[in-house]
């Protein structure tokens, strides 16, 4: 049945107007894509199966097929009129069953193909991201009795011992249901088993079915439904009472609830069923994330800027990209809610992507308060059963709002009317690993275009990419220029873009003033605490004023920059304009500083090259260290730690945030996840313990990210009636990022930053592809990196930076190297043949191609 290894990049999946649209019933074979467990990343294989006459299969269906000794998930790709000539037709097996009909519609399939091409990933790997886990997994072949069709004394008809044996085994089991595997073991001969099974099925006494993988089994519960009032049947008093209860409950109750309410038994009910008064049947219950009951919330009266934004979004017909640039607390979410409401009435659905799960409880609550049970949440922290059910709920086509993280961009909503990316600048929309290394914003642009619906990108601090993409439309409100990668989809069309601004906070509340504290002065004036005197004073006042605060700490692995505590000097690479990183290879190794772009290295100097002070230190202080310090200096202060350690358990985000919102603590101490979308009116103080950890990461995006993070953190203060206050501690108060955060000046920051990017051809002006290599063998990975770089060097059209070791060189015992390719988006580079490059890697070196990398560390 196996044809050949196909390069799926070149695979025509369905010719428009051909196999998707019309199925010629004369065709009896189908090519399917099998998710074989052993297949490597690059070899996705197509297999041919026969279609049994009773199955109506179309390309895009998800199937279950026999594969070796197993049943596996597969996707129907193309119907064939003839079996392939190189395979004897008796070797072709039958498709077992259809798991999900019509899953891959044209536009959805095109989207997956685009992702596969653009991110150099095989189609099956893209499909794995798009489907809920387990759907393509192993399924089980089972056989069950059709008791109602078996006549009395059936065993007597069966002369053949195997059929009789199978029947008896099945009858001995209350459900009359066993797996093939089990039955086969009971019947000694395999051939006899198949003959016996066939006999039972031919007589209609049993049927076979495929049980889906464990998690993709729908959950069912028994429900009792009233079908007759029982007036024309002889019933006793008790039975009439029971029917009355059912009638009072609108004629329908879950069986378990019914038994409780009526204090009756299943057999009593079965009696009523036999008399034709009720029906007891299985009904599917959808597993969904539990959420507290919320009071219904009404649309708010919009202010002028919000009303203008809403009117523009509503007026868009078809595809367009909208940048909704609203400062923190300006009411972006209210605009989303009101843009979605009319769509639901038109029978369409909306997709809302958010960066991280940390902020979804609050955001989903707001959506649920507005749209009730039309809101579904889809993210990887759900249980597999919940994911599967939510996914199936989407396929129904019911108008709904799906809120999810990155991978929800693949949510299979058939009638999509709007896509929203909230906090679109956030780097968690990018997947670094595993492949495909997609950016949800890029995929969203393609999807919106394919579905012909608007895409709204919302942020207080838009990414430079999005800012540049609307540069033509700012002020004018008309269509602007096309960004770098859109040409990939439709080279000649104009990308219609809109720029919408919400420049004020709701109720004209002011943005909080930002006080920058120079930590060098604190040291000089004898304060050795990690808290400046300003911050100490503010923390001390919290309880007195019955207000709450947030303390933000930046923490990131081992990778830290080196700076002078006396003068603020930061060690940088002489060639690359990025700070050098302290290189943590292993315990006891000599202290080495390195550039991750060009591999320049130097030893750690003892004295500051600028002021000769000995206070040249690595930076980095974790939440733990800060909370220890807090407990020592402010023993009366109640705080909650909010970081990846304390929020690991399911529901922990919600619990901690609820505790904080209920005033059970004065201070929330945490990392990055604090910055995202928290809307807590009691918070008046925001403290940034050390901004420097953000400023000097060895990445060309460090400044942009630092500005975004600090602005977002600052934006948590003063969202209620009490005015807010922000204290930013730093050793480099003159840094342009700090200055821009202090003055809330996004525009000037952008301008300066964009000039630098343009000079160096970094995104959004140039494009990058990062090759990440890793291996258990440090020598082999370095050699391979060198070989690949040399090979690439012969290609024209792009610049090669590296190879260089990754900043954390060894992770989980693997040594990591990387090569950065930089090219101009205008002249299409002669990109290398990736199969060839993969071939340069020996077995022991693995390669990931990260397209448009966001984290180069
Ligand atoms: P953003 O998403 O831009 O940070 P939010 O949508 O969270 O802002 O709005 C901030 C707060 O203002 C929220 O509590 C929200 O309920 C409230 N709000 C938003 N729009 C309005 C409005 N038009 N009138 C009154 N309150 C509003
Ligand atoms: Zn360098
Ligand atoms: Zn110095």
Residue 295 lies in a domain: no
Q: Ligand 2 mean position to 671 CA, how many Å? A: 29
Which CATH number do you get for residue 145? 1.10.10
The predicted structure's pLDDT at residue 347? 95
Ligand 1, residue 681: give the atom nearest the CA.
Answer: 14
Over 90: is that where the pLDDT of 107 sits? Answer: no
Domain boundary residue among 113, 139, 165? Answer: 139
**Sequence-ordered list of residues with C-beta below 8 angstroms from that of 370, at least 6 positions apart, any chain:** 297, 299, 337, 341
Instruction: Please give the mean pLDDT across all residues of the chain.
Output: 80
Q: How far apart are CA 519 and CA 617, in angstroms?
A: 14
Domain boundary residue among 186, 211, 236? Answer: 211
CA 447 to chain centre: 15
> What ligand has the least distance to the C-alpha of 562?
3
Q: Ligand 1 mean position to 776 CA, how many Å? A: 51
Q: Ligand 3 mean position to 568 CA, how many Å? A: 6
| Ligand 1 neighbours (beta carbon < 6 A) | 300-303, 306, 326, 328-334, 506, 679
| pLDDT single digits (tens) 323-349 | 999 988 899 999 999 999 999 999 999
Which CATH number do you get for residue 808? 3.30.70.600
Compute φ and ψ for 92, nearest 5 degrees: -90, 125
Q: Categorize the per-residue pLDDT at 487 as very low, low, confident or very high, splitting at 50, 70 and 90.
A: very low
Do 495 and 376 share a domain, yes or no?
yes
Q: Which residues surround ligand 2, an ion (CB under 5 A)?
A: 573, 575-576, 595, 597-598, 600
Q: Ligand 1 mean position to 305 CA, how many Å? A: 12
Strand spans (E) along 542-649:
548-552, 562-564, 581-583, 592-594, 601-603, 616-618, 639-642
Q: How far apart are CA 579 and CA 698, in angstroms?
A: 5
Q: In residues, how long is the chain?
A: 857
Over 50: is that where the pLDDT of 815 sits? Answer: yes
Which 8-state DSSP code applies to residue 238? H
Sheet arrangement for strand 601-603: 581-583, 592-594, 601-603
Over residues 492-496, the mean pLDDT reads 56
How deeply is 531 buried, as exposed, middle or buried, from its count of CB atoms within 10 A (0-12, 13-18, 19+)?
Answer: buried
Q: Give me the torsion for CA of 58, 64, 65, 70, rounded to 10°.
A: 170
The predicted structure's pLDDT at residue 416? 95
Q: Categorize the per-residue pLDDT at 371 as very low, low, confident or very high, splitting at 50, 70 and 90.
A: very high
Residue 318 lies in a domain: yes
Residue 760 lies in a domain: no
Over residues 58-83, the mean pLDDT reads 80
Do 356 and 485 share a domain, yes or no?
yes
Do 549 and 586 share a domain, yes or no?
no
Half-sphere exposure in the Cβ direction for 249 (13 Å, CA): 17
The predicted structure's pLDDT at residue 629? 83
| pLDDT single digits (tens) 243-287 | 888 887 777 777 877 787 777 888 888 888 888 888 887 776 655
DSSP secondary structure letters along 162-185: HHHHHHHHHHTSTT-EEEHHHHHH
- Taking CA atoms only, the protein residue closest to ligand 1 atom 18 is 331
Over residues 221-231, the mean pLDDT reads 77
Residue 606 lies in a domain: yes
Residue 662 lies in a domain: yes
- Nearest by Cα to 705 from 430, 506, 481, 516: 430
Do 453 and 347 share a domain, yes or no?
yes
Do 338 and 486 share a domain, yes or no?
yes
Do 133 and 94 share a domain, yes or no?
yes
Which CATH number do you get for residue 252? 1.10.10.10
| pLDDT single digits (tens) 826-847 | 665 666 677 777 778 877 888 8
Do 109 and 167 share a domain, yes or no?
no
Instruction: Quote the number of domains for the chain.
Output: 7
Domain boundary residue among 573, 604, 620? Answer: 620
Over 50: is that where the pLDDT of 460 sits? Answer: yes
Q: How far apart are CA 113 and CA 837, in angstroms?
A: 21
Higher-confidence residue of 856 and 552: namely 552
Give percent of the chain with pLDDT exceeding 90: 26
Residue 729 lies in a domain: yes
Residue 521 burial (CB count, 10 A)? 13
The predicted structure's pLDDT at residue 52? 79
Q: Categorize the per-residue pLDDT at 302 as very low, low, confident or very high, splitting at 50, 70 and 90.
A: very high
> Which range of residues forms the domain containing residue 573?
559-620
Partners of residue 223 on adjacent β-strands: 254, 281
Residue 619's SS3 state is coil
Q: Write out the two tokens for 82.
A: 């003839």
Q: Rounded to 5 degrees, what angle do the CA atoms 574, 575, 579 make?
A: 60
Do 665 and 729 share a domain, yes or no?
yes
Which CATH number do you get for residue 455? 3.40.50.300
Q: Ligand 1 mean position to 334 CA, how many Å? A: 6
Over 90: is that where the pLDDT of 532 sits? Answer: yes
DSSP secondary structure letters along 738-791: HHHHHTT-HHHHHHHHHHHHHHHT-TTTSEEEEEEEEES-HHHHHHHHHHHHHH
Do 134 and 154 share a domain, yes or no?
no
Residue 2 lies in a domain: no
| Lowest model confidence (mean pLDDT) among 288-302, 472-486, 522-536, 655-669 | 472-486
Question: Strand 514-518 and strand 138-145: pairing?
Answer: unpaired
- Nearest by Cα to 336 from 264, 423, 249, 229: 423
Over residues 760-779, the mean pLDDT reads 89
The predicted structure's pLDDT at residue 484? 34
The predicted structure's pLDDT at residue 66? 82
Do 437 and 534 share a domain, yes or no?
no
Do 84 and 109 share a domain, yes or no?
yes
| 3-state secondary structure string across 667-681 | EEEECHHHHCCCCCC
Ligand 1, residue 333: give the atom nearest the CA.
Answer: 6
Residue 758 lies in a domain: no
Over residues 235-249, the mean pLDDT reads 82
| pLDDT single digits (tens) 14-65 | 333 333 333 444 548 888 887 665 544 444 567 889 887 777 888 888 888 8
Partners of residue 210 on adjacent β-strands: 141
Q: Any alpha helices (H) in 178-285, and if so which ranges?
A: 180-186, 190-202, 237-248, 255-262, 266-274
The predicted structure's pLDDT at residue 257? 77
> What ligand has the least distance to the C-alpha of 820?
2
The predicted structure's pLDDT at residue 17? 30
- Taking CA atoms only, the protein residue closest to ligand 1 atom 10 is 329
Distances (CA, A) of 250 to 243, 255, 442: 11, 14, 49
Do 24 and 81 share a domain, yes or no?
yes
The predicted structure's pLDDT at residue 122? 79
Q: How far apart are CA 163 and CA 576, in angstroms?
A: 77
| Lowest model confidence (mean pLDDT) among 383-397, 491-505, 571-585, 635-649 | 571-585
């Amino acid at each position: 049945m196996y044809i050949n290894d196909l390069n799926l990049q070149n695979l025509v999946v369905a010719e428009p107007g051909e196999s998707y649209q019309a199925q010629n019933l004369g065709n009896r074979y189908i090519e399917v894509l099998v998710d074989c467990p052993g297949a490597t990343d690059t070899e996705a294989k197509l297999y041919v199966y026969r279609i049994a006459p009773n199955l109506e299969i179309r390309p895009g269906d998800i199937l279950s097929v026999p594969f070796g000794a197993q049943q596996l998930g597969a996707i129907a790709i193309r119907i064939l009129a003839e079996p392939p000539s190189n395979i004897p037709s008796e070797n072709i097996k039958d498709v077992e069953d259809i798991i999900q009909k019509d899953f891959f519609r044209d536009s959805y399939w095109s989207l997956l193909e685009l992702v596969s091409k653009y991110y150099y990933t095989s189609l099956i790997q893209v499909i794995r991201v798009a489907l809920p886990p387990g759907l393509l997994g192993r399924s089980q072949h089972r056989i069950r009795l059709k008791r109602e069709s078996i006549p009395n004394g059936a065993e007597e008809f069966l002369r053949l011992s195997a059929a009789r044996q199978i029947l008896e085994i099945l009858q001995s089991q209350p459900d009359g249901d066993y797996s093939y595997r089990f039955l086969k073991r009971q019947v000694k001969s395999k051939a006899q088993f198949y003959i016996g099974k066939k006999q039972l099925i031919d007589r209609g006494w049993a049927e076979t079915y495929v049980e889906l993988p464990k998690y993709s089994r729908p959950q069912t519960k028994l429900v009792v439904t009233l079908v007759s009032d029982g007036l024309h049947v002889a019933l006793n008093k008790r039975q009439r009472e029971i029917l009355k209860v059912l009638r009072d409950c609108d004629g329908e109750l879950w069986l378990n609830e019914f038994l409780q309410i009526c204090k009756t038994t299943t057999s009593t009910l079965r009696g009523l069923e036999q008399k034709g008064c009720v029906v007891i049947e299985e009904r599917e219950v959808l597993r969904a994330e539990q959420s507290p009951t919320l009071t219904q919330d009404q649309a708010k009266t919009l202010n002028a800027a919000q009303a203008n934004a809403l009117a523009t979004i509503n007026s868009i017909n078809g595809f367009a990209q909208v940048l909704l640039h609203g400062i923190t607390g300006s009411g972006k979410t209210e605009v989303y809610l009101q843009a979605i409401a009319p769509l639901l009435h038109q029978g369409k659905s909306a997709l809302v992507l958010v960066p991280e799960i940390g902020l979804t409880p609050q955001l989903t609550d707001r959506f649920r308060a507005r749209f009730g049970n039309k809101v579904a949440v889809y993210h990887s922290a759900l249980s597999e059963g919940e994911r599967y059910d939510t996914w199936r709920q989407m396929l129904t086509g019911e108008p709904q709002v799906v809120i999810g993280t990155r991978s929800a961009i693949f949510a299979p909503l058939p009638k999509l009317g709007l896509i929203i990316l909230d906090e679109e600048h956030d780097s968690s929309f990018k997947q670094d690993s595993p492949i495909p290394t997609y950016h949800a914003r890029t995929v969203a642009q393609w999807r919106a275009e394919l579905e012909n619906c608007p895409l709204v990108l919302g942020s207080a601090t838009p990414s430079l990419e999005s800012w540049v993409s609307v540069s033509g439309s700012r002020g004018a409100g008309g269509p602007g220029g096309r960004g770098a990668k859109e040409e990939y989809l439709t080279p000649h069309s104009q990308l219609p873009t809109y720029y919408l601004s919400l420049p004020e906070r709701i109720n004209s509340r002011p943005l909080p003033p930002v006080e920058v504290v120079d930590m060098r002065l604190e040291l000089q004036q004898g304060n050795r605490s990690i808290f400046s005197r300003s911050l100490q004073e503010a923390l001390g006042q919290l309880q007195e004023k019955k207000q709450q605060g947030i303390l933000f700490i930046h923490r990131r692995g081992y990778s830290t920059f080196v700076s002078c505590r006396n003068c603020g000097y930061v060690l940088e690479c002489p060639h690359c304009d990025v700070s050098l990183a302290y290189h943590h290879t292993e315990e006891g190794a000599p202290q080495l500083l390195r550039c991750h772009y060009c591999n320049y290295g130097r030893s750690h100097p003892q004295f500051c090259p600028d002021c000769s002070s000995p206070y040249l230190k690595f930076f980095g202080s974790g939440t733990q260290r800060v909370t220890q310090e807090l407990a020592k200096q402010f023993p009366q202060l109640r705080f909650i730690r909010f970081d990846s350690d304390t929020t690991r358990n399911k529901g922990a985000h919600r619990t901690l945030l609820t505790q904080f919102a209920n005033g059970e603590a004065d201070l929330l101490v945490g990392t990055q996840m604090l910055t995202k979308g928290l809307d807590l009116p009691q918070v008046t103080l925001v403290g940034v313990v050390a901004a420097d950890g953000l400023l000097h990461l060895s990445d060309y995006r460090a400044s942009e990210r630092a500005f975004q993070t600090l602005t977002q953190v600052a934006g948590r203060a003063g969202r209620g009636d009490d005015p807010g206050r922000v204290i930013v501690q730093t050793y480099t108060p003159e840094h342009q990022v700090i200055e821009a955060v202090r003055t809330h000046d996004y525009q000037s920051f952008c301008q300066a930053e964009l000039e630098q990017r343009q000079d160096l051809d970094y995104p959004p002006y140039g494009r990058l592809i990062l090759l990440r290599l890793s291996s258990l063998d440090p020598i082999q990975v370095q050699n391979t990196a060198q070989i690949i770089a040399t090979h690439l060097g012969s290609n024209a059209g792009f610049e090669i930076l590296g190879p260089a070791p990754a900043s954390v060189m060894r992770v989980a015992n693997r040594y990591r190297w990387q090569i950065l390719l930089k090219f101009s988006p205008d002249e299409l580079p002669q990109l290398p043949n990736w199969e060839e490059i993969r071939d340069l890697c020996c077995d022991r070196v693995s390669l990931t191609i990260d397209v448009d990398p966001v984290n180069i560390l």
